[in-house]
Structures are given as structure tokens and as C-alpha cells.
Amino acid sequence: MWLADCHVHSHHSIDGRRQVHDYCRAALAAGLTGITFTEHYDLNPAAEGFDHLDFARYAQEVEAARREFAGRLEIGLGLELGEPHLYREAIETFLSGKSGEEVDFLLGSVHWVGKEALHLEFGQHCSGQEAYQDYFTEVLLAVRAGNFHVLAHLDLLKRYLDHAYPLEAERFREIITAILQETIARGIGLEVNTSGIRQGLGDTLPGLTILRWYRDLGGEIVTLGSDAHRPEDVGADLSTGLATLEAAGFNRFGHYHHGQVRMHPIVYT
Ligand SMILES: [Zn+2]
Ligand SMILES: [Zn+2]
């Protein structure tokens, strides 16, 4: 079946390893038909990846890989925008210098709440429940800005807090519903990020409950990504992501090309 990993970081991200070419080889070895790179684009001066991306070099490397893997692998050029709602103008300026065909895919992510990055000690000054509430509030603000295609890892904070405060989605149903309604109203998709499975959470981000809510509210656009930071993880647990989507009632998933979504059926052979 047609399947792409739509969340991948190469060395063009501060925390990625190896070259674009190495990830493309890994994608073919994993039986994928496509891969979309989503290098970090962080404008928060306190973020580790601030000012790391050299877009021209990144685009050149993707172009070279497209020539090398032509006819065998569809290679997308994307960006993972950190807190896009806080840097609207700078992002618009950055993107306005690029043609519509140059950037295939924009993920919107919240990795920071105020001056605090998400990490294991996030929200120490308050309860876990308050920390989740603060996080989802920031995600809602990001979605309201609407300047990206797909919301990445909606419940990312559970990656850090789950050991002490497992996320009980039902307790945050009101704000999560507001986030989902906003994405649907704006035509923003929802990512199923499978990194949680290999990182010990044993669950996708977001998990089945939130995906069901999204479906029940009328959400249709879902994308799949491993959030690989090394070639070995390309395509990791996408099959579990597909099974989770099916369990939530989806029979299709999306993929972005030149900023436009294409839907593909979930089929098992
Ligand atoms: Zn992220
Ligand atoms: Zn990422």
C-alpha cells in the first residue's frame, strides 16, 4: 500500500543525525513509498535549535535525493514550526521567499509553554493536571493562529509527565474538544505520532480516545509520522498507527504535496 513517514528529522535539525540520503535508504528498506522531512524551524531564541536550519542547504540535499531515488520514493520537504502562533510574522516572511512548490508540508508544534520547555520536570510548580491544562491552552492558541497544515503530537506533554501523571484525556475533554473543533474548522489535520510507542509510552500521540473524538466531531485529515531522529527509526510503528486509526473509525489517511493534502486508503495485503 502507499505509505509515507511524514515526520522525520535529518541533520538539518539540531537533534537529528545523518544525511537526507541515509533516511531515504532507510525508508525504502522499511517498505515505504514516501518520506517527508520535517526539520525544526525554531524562532524561540531559548530553543536549542534556534537559528540552526540552513534552508538552502536543506533544499539542495532534498533535491539531490529526489534525483537519486526518482521513481522509487516520493520525498517531501517540510518543516516542523515551533510555537507558530508566537512567530507568525517571521514565519510568513520566511515562507514568502519560497515558491508554493518548494515547501510541501508544515507541522505546527508546541514544545514550549511560556518560558518553559517541555521536559521531565515541566510544571513542577503546580500539579500534573494544571500542567496539562496549561499545555493544552497553549496548543489551542497555536491552532487558532492556523498558520500550518497539521497539528503535531497533540498530547506531547504526556511523553514527559506520564510516569508521574498519566494523561486522563476525559478530564481535559472540554479543552481538547475545543482544539479539535478549531483544527476541523480551519482545515488543519491531526498527526498520529508513533514515537511514543518506541519511547516507552506504549501509545501514539495522541492516543485512541482523542482520535475517536476527532473522528466523531467530523475530523478527516490524519497524517502518520514516526518523529525519527535517526535512520533506524524511519517508519517505526506506522503499522500500529494505522491500526489505531482504524480502531478510531478512519479508513483513509493524508499526505501533503506542495501544501495540498492527498488522501490514501488504509489497506492491508
Ligand atoms: Zn515535535
Ligand atoms: Zn519532530
Q: Can you tell me the distance from the alpha carbon of 198 to that of 234, in angstroms, rounded to the nearest whole number?
A: 12
β pairing state of 116-117 and 112-113:
antiparallel
Q: What pLDDT does 269 receive?
A: 54
Q: Cβ(136)–Cβ(102) under 8 Å?
A: no
State the distance from the centre of ligand 2 to the C-alpha of 9, rounded, in angstroms. 6
Q: How far apart are CA 176 and CA 213, in angstroms?
A: 9
The rounded Å distance from CA 255 to ligand 2 centre is 16
- Domains with residue ranges and CATH for the chain: 4-265 (3.20.20.140)
φ/ψ of residue 117, rounded to 5: -80, 155
pLDDT of amino acid 119: 84
Ligand 1 centroid distance, CA of 111 (Å):
6
Mean pLDDT by 10 residues, the chain (269 residues): 97 95 98 98 92 94 98 98 97 88 95 88 81 97 97 96 92 98 98 96 97 98 98 98 97 97 88
CB 205 within 8 A of CB 7: no
The conformation of residue 127, written as its DSSP 8-state character, comes to -
Question: Closest-lying ligand to the alpha carbon of 7?
Answer: 2
Going from the Cα of 196 to the center of ligand 2, the distance in angstroms, rounded, reads 12
Tell me the CA–centroid distance for residue 8 and ligand 2, in Å. Answer: 7
Distance 156 CA to ligand 1 centre (A): 8
Tell me the one-letter amino acid at 5.
D
Say how many Å lie between the CA of residue 41 and the centre of ligand 2.
10
CA-CA-CA-CA torsion sign (64, 8, 245, 184): negative
Residue 229: nearest ligand to its CA? Answer: 2
CA–CA separation, 111 and 164 (whole Å): 19
Burial of 93 (0-12, 13-18, 19+ CB in 10 A): exposed
Cα of 151 from ligand 1 centre, angstroms: 10
175 Cβ neighbours under 8 A, 6+ residues apart: 133, 136, 137, 140
Which long-range contacts (C-beta less than 8 Å, at least 24 apart) are formed by 199-202? 199/159, 201/158, 201/159, 201/162
